[in-house]
Amino acid sequence: MRTEICERLGIDVPIFAFTHCRDVAAAVSNAGGLGVLGAVGFTAEQLEIELAWLDEHVHGVYGVDLVIPSKYEGKGIEGLSPAELEAKLAELVPQEHRDFAEKILADHGVPRLPEDEHHNQLLGWTATTAGPQVEVILRHPKAKLVANALGTPPDDVIKQVQDSGRLIGALCGSVKHALNHQRAGLDFVVCQGTEGGGHCGEVSSLVLWPQVIDAVGDLPVLAAGGIGDGRQVAAAMAMGAAGAWTGSLWLTVEESNVPPAQMQTYIEATSHDTVRSRAWTGKPARMLRNEWTEAWERSDTPSPLPMPLQMMVALDGVKRGHRYPEAAKDVNFNPVGQVVGQLNKVERTADVMQRLIEEYLTACERLNKLNNS
């Protein structure tokens, strides 16, 4: 199961775990895989605290995931600080959208945040605002891998990361995007099928993985989208993937910082309860369908804005959902893939890692028996 990318990173198994929770990232890395902390939502100062904690608690190495979209409203505006760019983009957000978002939350009884809490920050949704996050990452030697969630990273970011001896890659949802990553000189690609949680394309993993693997040749491909047990890891590896990139799987582990009410929503959900929606970020992302996503889809309501403007509208709802998860149960931001239908109990992260490896080996043994029969 140990592939070339394991050798380059010094990890035991090619299981990569995207998570917004540092405890989960540390537990996966310490179990032989690679925990990848999602940086979006953290200021540079907050990210410094998170990575310093990971440095202390991770025995080996970990990764960090950025969100620098290749296309977004305001791209090309130069010479502004993150705060100045945020203020300029805020001018483009219609009041109608802010009022509609507030009405949804108010109608469901979700309390407002304290007046002194500033929450309309972009926090990494543009190249300008992600720049300070990159600087933080490069100060932490155990942060050996950087991934960009939306498109090919800017050339200067690629150079900075690679010159520091780290690996940098990006997610893709099509062969076209994978080839763009390869031409840019990235070290790996994460190929995510439409089953995956968060931002995703329209092609299923079983169809997309081999297409991308064939297209990029020797460039390592990490398979993502719909991986919840070791059988799915084995399927990805059988197609030629260099590893498995997982995300939704870690929402329901003991170490996760998902509030109990929200976690219960995940545990009770089936694979039929997800939807690709632009209602939170402005780009199609897979999440649980609820009254927030349904409200933005109606013909008599405002249409979601382009990224990052929609996130500037929705971020208040994200933060209020975290603060008041019981009240926000029907309108919370619940990014998750179709594999949510397999997530029906809470497990320890180390136990999940062990289970994935055992299920992978069992699947391989089953194939070996078939091949030798």
Q: Which residues pair with 171 in a beta bridge?
A: 190
CB neighbour list of residue 77: distance below 8 Å, 6 or more residues apart: 85, 88, 128
Q: For residue 243, give the H/E element and its range.
A: strand 243-246
* Phi then psi dihedrals of residue 119, to 5 deg: -130, -5
For the chain, first and last CA: distance in Å? 23
Residue 255 DSSP one-character state: T
Q: How many CB atoms lie within 10 A of CB 238?
A: 13
Per-residue confidence of the chain (373 residues) as pLDDT tens digits?
889 999 999 999 999 999 999 999 999 999 999 999 999 888 899 999 999 999 999 999 999 999 887 777 777 776 777 778 888 888 999 999 999 999 999 999 999 998 877 555 666 667 777 888 999 999 999 999 999 998 899 999 999 999 999 999 999 999 999 999 999 999 999 999 999 999 999 999 999 999 999 999 999 999 999 999 999 999 999 999 999 999 999 999 999 999 998 999 999 999 999 999 999 999 999 999 999 999 999 999 999 999 889 999 999 999 999 899 999 999 999 999 999 999 999 999 999 999 999 999 999 999 999 998 7
CA distances to 119, 139, 160, 239, 252 from 124, rounded to whole Å, are 13, 18, 17, 34, 25
Task: Determine the pLDDT at residue 124.
Answer: 63
Residue 365: count of CB within 10 angstroms of its CB:
11
Each residue's pLDDT tens digit, 262-301: 999 999 999 999 999 999 999 999 999 999 999 999 999 9
* CA 226, chain centre distance (Å): 13
Nearest 5°: phi and psi at 274? -100, 165
SS3 215: helix
Task: State both tokens at 311.
Answer: 């996130």
> For residue 88, what pLDDT is reported?
86
- CA-nearest of 275, 315, 305 to 291 is 275
Q: What CA–CA distances, in Å, run from 189 to 184, 213, 367?
A: 11, 9, 27
**DSSP-derived secondary structure letter, 106:** H
* Separation of alpha carbons 193 and 46, rounded Å: 31
Supply the pLDDT for residue 128: 75
Contact 342, 226 (CB under 8 A): no
What's the DSSP call for residue 248? G
Q: What is the C-alpha to C-alpha distance for residues 112 and 193, in angstroms, rounded to an integer?
A: 36
Amino acid at 229: D
**Cα(345)–Cα(339) distance, integer angstroms:** 13
pLDDT at 274: 98
The residue type of 154 is: P
**Whole-number Å distance between alpha carbons of 131 and 66:** 10
State the maximum Cα–Cα separation within the chain, in Å, rounded to a whole number: 69
Q: Is the peptide bond before 308 cis (omega within 30 degrees of 0)?
A: yes
Tens digits of residue pLDDT in 157-199: 999 999 999 999 999 999 999 999 999 999 999 999 999 999 9
**Contact partners, residue 301, CB within 8 Å, separation at least 6:** 100, 295
What is 4-72+123-279+335-372's CATH superfamily? Answer: Aldolase class I (3.20.20.70)
What confidence score (pLDDT) does residue 120 get? 54
Query: What is the amino acid identity at position 208?
Result: L
C-alpha distances in Å from residue 50, one per residue of 131, 253, 256: 17, 19, 15
